[in-house]
Amino acid sequence: MNAPATPVQLLPEIVPREVPSALLDALKARFGERCSTALVVREQHGRDESAYTHVPPPAAVVFAESTADVAAAVALASAHSVPVIPFGVGSSLEGHLLAIQGGISIDVSRMNKVLAVNPEDLTVTVQPGVTRKQLNEEIKSTGLFFPIDPGADASIGGMSATRASGTNAVRYGTMRENVMALEVVTASGEVIRTGTRAKKSSAGYDLTRLMVGSEGTLGVLTEITLRIYPLPEAISAAICSFPSIEAAVRSTIQIIQMGIPIARVELIDAHTVRMVNAHSKLGLREEPMLLMEFHGSPTGVKEQAEAVQEIASEHGGKAFEWAVTPEERTRLWTARHNAYFAAIQSKPGCRAISTDTCVPISRLADCLLDSVTEAEASGLPYFLVGHVGDGNFHFGYLLDPNKPEEYAVAEALNHALVHRALALGGTCTGEHGVGIHKMDFLRTEAGEGAIDMMRTIKRALDPKNIMNPGKIFAL
Amino acid sequence: MNAPATPVQLLPEIVPREVPSALLDALKARFGERCSTALVVREQHGRDESAYTHVPPPAAVVFAESTADVAAAVALASAHSVPVIPFGVGSSLEGHLLAIQGGISIDVSRMNKVLAVNPEDLTVTVQPGVTRKQLNEEIKSTGLFFPIDPGADASIGGMSATRASGTNAVRYGTMRENVMALEVVTASGEVIRTGTRAKKSSAGYDLTRLMVGSEGTLGVLTEITLRIYPLPEAISAAICSFPSIEAAVRSTIQIIQMGIPIARVELIDAHTVRMVNAHSKLGLREEPMLLMEFHGSPTGVKEQAEAVQEIASEHGGKAFEWAVTPEERTRLWTARHNAYFAAIQSKPGCRAISTDTCVPISRLADCLLDSVTEAEASGLPYFLVGHVGDGNFHFGYLLDPNKPEEYAVAEALNHALVHRALALGGTCTGEHGVGIHKMDFLRTEAGEGAIDMMRTIKRALDPKNIMNPGKIFAL
């Protein structure tokens, strides 16, 4: 392999700061075996699901088991002006976890307790290392569930830090709407609390929402209080095939504009259906498809489904197939959640670069169709899935990691797509976050004035620039 | 009148900063007659609906007609380190508008244009002086509506700045959930934009939600993009009387816990029903009452209503009365919205001090009932209304402004109530904001660590402390 496997030209300058041995000694003294400098451990914590692979790993990994552990690690790092990077399960997509300025990784995966379930208030308080599937497993007996479902079984800490969402956001919102309160370790190693379990509040600056989406750059989340929801009395799922992506998208737009409270509406293009069929041994029609879910009372679900079926039919939707039993539904949704892996398997040895634009729903067809045309013309294999009810969709360009020219094509496609989305009033990232990959896009989207405001807040709250530095924007 | 009519001991120190004549000259030069120093104009802008009356008014009032006007006024004030206080309609309740450090008022009420309606995206962009009723009037023909309804016909700018809500929040959320994007004039007089019209975004710090609820202390809002909603296909309203407040509250708790998507559920206590009957010439049963509204499809509304009726009956609810026509509904809701005025009229010459606690729904009965007992024991007349579906309620203590001892009793009741709410995991303000009245409560609620973080952000974004200084927290 001659060419570097990573498009390093896209990385901000990598300038690892010195990690003095005094800090490593202090961490070893405080954490014993829970502070590791083994290369394999460091390497595991120095990468994520992004395409970047050639960044040196952090100098050490601290396995925190409590808020006090996190506070101690941050305080020690602060004393030496050394960066800290929180680590949950490592599923972030935009380079969030990369130690581009060196430093130590604080692994919170052992902080995985559900601390309180308040079924009567529809809230739950968890440690940041709890994963979304674990949470749903642990609250299953209450008849409640937590709806936010990014593709990966991500940690709640990571999901909060990136303002994640997923397929249920069209009805239940994103982490922005569903994080109620936080415990945060600040850049100086202090512990603060934001928000309460009250459903509304006008009590001062909304620090909770400032932290949600701040990608570890303002503090480390050590406790998260979330909204949870009663499992719907009735659920039904359906797939419907369409003659074109446009027909599927136009149906979606109409569903949303009519205010139908659909719980999920996912687009899968014909390519991807083919990959999913191969991977999950399904026999789905290899045409653009909407995968939908309806939550409510039995009659409510029936009403929604009838209204949607009528809209879909008007746009040429056919082969409406219903899945009412939990098993049938699981089969369909597993297929959707496995689309990424199905795609990866379709081109052995490939990596995927995933886009994440989100536009106002009225512009969805314009944004999506032009980008499909461009992707087709590029010759690069891709998959296409989308939370189209929110105007959010993902192309996954499938690359040979040994062919830098393929990276270049994928980046060019992404670049064109993002600029199209921004011109249509959209955003460069609906749910993945900025990390290092989208810093340029964010600057275009938000403008220098807003970036300056973010920078000013960052400098004020983290004067030594030790909290996951070099992410979201350049200081 | 001997004693001061205001509980001045509750005010932070009033230290008006000098407003140099050079600034006034510059403002006159820039704004001509749109800069007023007439006492009557200044006095009108130097008070709000709070109980404070003895604060000197601002030195001048600028009537802004554009973002450029606001930016120019702020830039001039900044050059002289003079405070600016944005003014919408003057309906804030906690002293937000008082010029406790002097300065100039920027009246944005002439910035009252609806700039864009995007019915297909369910969004609207307005200037800050648009009021909520004006907005609904202007978008009526689209079949869409904006649900947030504080008691007053407040400006959208003011509602955003205080993170307001109202009776519909239980279903549609508050300004926190419904402001999508902003244009903001910063403390240096620069204009920035936050957010987009895309429904979701993970693009950097959530400056939109940092501004929402910041009460003019971080910037002046000059454009606001809001979510709007399709008018429900069917609406029905109902009132139901209960043998006790407790029965009404326990019914509400159960409605929420069952996940019934009720659109409004308001508590009115027997006192208040009596006042409303007298004021609005109604013949409502003078018992604790829930006033409810259901939105959805005809069958959905029917289902919700049946489920609620069953719950209410179990708690002794009776005299379920339905209002299906728009006229009947308007009559009931007007009564609710006039409760404040009805109460004020019941004690001629009185002022009301309104509480605003919000607690997790499971603690609502505990919080409310103990406070009713205390209020009864105090002998002070009061009214009680509440957005109980959110755990938020308001006592209004009716005071003779010439009797400082009544202020003291009301403040003591509020103090006990707030501390009870905080002990139950609630907040000191569900929707009115902090202003100057709740600064101490906020400190207790948020803790020094979180207040320090707010303070650090404030200092960084407003280094001269000119943006509505002295509000929310002491610097």
> Which chain A residue has the Cα nearest residue B360?
A198
Cα separation, A357 vs A415, in Å, equals: 11
A366 or A9, which is more confident: A366
* A322 phi/psi in degrees, rounded to 5: -100, 145
Mutate which: B201, B218, B431, B438, vs A, most A CBs within 10 A? B201
Q: Would the CB atoms of B454 and A428 count as touching at under 8 Å?
A: no
For A450, the 3-state DSSP assignment is: helix
Helices and strands (DSSP H and E) totals, chain A: 16, 18
The reply to whether B68 touches chain A by the CB within 8 Å rule is no
Residues B142 and B221 in one domain: yes
Between CA A274 and CA A284, with CA A278 as vertex, the angle to 5 degrees is 55
Q: Which residues of B touch A253 (CB under 8 A)?
A: 120
Q: Which residues of A touch B445 (CB under 8 A)?
A: 196, 203
For A54, the 3-state DSSP assignment is: coil
Cα separation, A470 vs B62, in Å, equals: 42
Q: Would the CB atoms of B192 and A450 count as touching at under 8 Å?
A: yes
Residues A413 and A301 in one domain: yes
| Domain CATH for A134 | 3.30.465.10
Torsion angle (degrees, nearest 10) of CA B403, B409, B414, B419: 150
The reply to whether A143 touches chain B by the CB within 8 Å rule is no
The reply to whether A209 touches chain B by the CB within 8 Å rule is yes
Q: Is residue B441 part of a domain?
A: no
Residues 101-120 of B with CB under 8 A from A: 118-120
Q: Would the CB atoms of A162 and B299 count as touching at under 8 Å?
A: no
Cα separation, A247 vs A243, in Å, equals: 7
Cα separation, B334 vs B118, in Å, equals: 29
* B358 phi/psi in degrees, rounded to 5: -140, 130
Mutate which: A201, A210, A299, A387, vs B, most B CBs within 10 A? A201
Q: How far is B68 from chain A (nearest CA, A)?
A: 16
Q: How far is A164 from chain B (nearest CA, A)?
A: 7
The reply to whether B300 touches chain A by the CB within 8 Å rule is yes
Mean pLDDT of B106-121: 97
A156 and A126 Cβ atoms separated by less than 8 Å: yes
| Domain CATH for B15 | 3.30.43.10
Residues B367 and B388 in one domain: yes
Q: Which residues of B touch A431 (CB under 8 A)?
A: 200, 202
Give the containing element (helix H, strand E) for A398. strand A392-399
pLDDT tier at B7, thresholds 50, 70, 90? very low
The reply to whether A198 touches chain B by the CB within 8 Å rule is yes
State pLDDT tens for residues A69-92: 999 999 999 999 999 999 999 999
Q: How many domains does chain A have?
A: 3
Mean pLDDT of A292-307: 94
Please report the pLDDT score of residue B324 as a whole number. Answer: 80
DSSP collapsed to 3 states, A312-371: HHHCCCEEEEEECCHHHHHHHHHHHHCHHHHHHHHCCCCEEEECCCECCHHHHHHHHHHH
CA B98 distance to own-chain centroid: 16
Q: Which of B384, B408, B423 is the last residue of a domain?
A: B423
For A269, the 3-state DSSP assignment is: coil
State pLDDT tens for residues A231-254: 999 999 999 999 999 999 999 999
Mean pLDDT of B378-396: 96
Look up residue A100 and give its amino acid: I
Cα separation, B431 vs B93, in Å, equals: 10
Kindly list the distances between the CA atom of residue B189 and the CA atoms of A450, B181, B185, in Å, as whole numbers in the listed order. Answer: 13, 19, 6
Mutate which: A199, A225, A366, A393, vs B, most B CBs within 10 A? A199
Beta-carbon contacts of A284 under 8 Å, excluding residues fewer than 6 positions away, are A239, A273, A276, A277, A335
Is the pLDDT score of A129 beyond 80? Answer: yes
Cα separation, B204 vs A215, in Å, equals: 8
Residues A79 and A201 in one domain: no
Mutate which: A174, A205, A354, vs B, most B CBs within 10 A? A205
For A466, the 3-state DSSP assignment is: coil
| pTM of the full structure | 0.96
- Indicate the burial class of A229 (C-beta count within 10 angstroms; 0-12, 13-18, 19 or more): middle
- Closest partner residue to B202 (CB to CB) among A206, A213, A257 is A213
State pLDDT tens for residues B288-317: 999 999 999 999 999 999 999 999 999 999
pLDDT tier at B10, thresholds 50, 70, 90? low
Residues A12 and A102 in one domain: yes
Beta-carbon contacts of A78 under 8 Å, excluding residues fewer than 6 positions away, are A187, A188, A189, A464, A466
Please report the pLDDT score of residue A10 as a whole number. Answer: 57
Q: Is residue B434 part of a domain?
A: no
Q: Is residue A460 part of a domain?
A: no
Q: Is residue B155 part of a domain?
A: yes
The reply to whether A254 touches chain B by the CB within 8 Å rule is no
Cα separation, A453 vs A468, in Å, equals: 18
The reply to whether A461 touches chain B by the CB within 8 Å rule is yes
Please report the pLDDT score of residue A52 as a whole number. Answer: 83
**Tokens standing for residue A149:** 């479902």
Mean pLDDT of A331-352: 87
Residues A146 and A203 in one domain: yes
Q: Is residue A28 part of a domain?
A: yes
Contacts 24+ apart (CB under 8 A), B252-256: B252/B290, B252/B361, B252/B364, B252/B388, B252/B389, B253/A120, B253/B361, B253/B362, B253/B364, B253/B365, B254/B311, B254/B315, B255/B307, B255/B308, B255/B311, B255/B389, B256/A122, B256/B170, B256/B361, B256/B389
Is the pLDDT score of A7 beyond 60? Answer: no
A291 and A268 Cβ atoms separated by less than 8 Å: yes
The reply to whether A199 touches chain B by the CB within 8 Å rule is yes
Residue A269: which domain range?
234-423
Mutate which: B180, B199, B258, B368, vs A, most A CBs within 10 A? B199
A9 and A412 Cβ atoms separated by less than 8 Å: no
Share of residues in chain B with pLDDT > 70 (%): 97
Residues B260 and B333 in one domain: yes
Q: Would the CB atoms of A207 and B429 count as touching at under 8 Å?
A: no
Residues B67 and B133 in one domain: no
Look up residue A379 and give its amino acid: G
For A199, the 3-state DSSP assignment is: coil
The reply to whether A362 touches chain B by the CB within 8 Å rule is yes
Q: Which of B82, B107, B132 is the last residue of a domain?
A: B107
Q: Considering just the CA atoms, what is the radius of gyration of chain A in Å?
A: 22
Residues A189 and A173 in one domain: yes
Residues A316 and A413 in one domain: yes
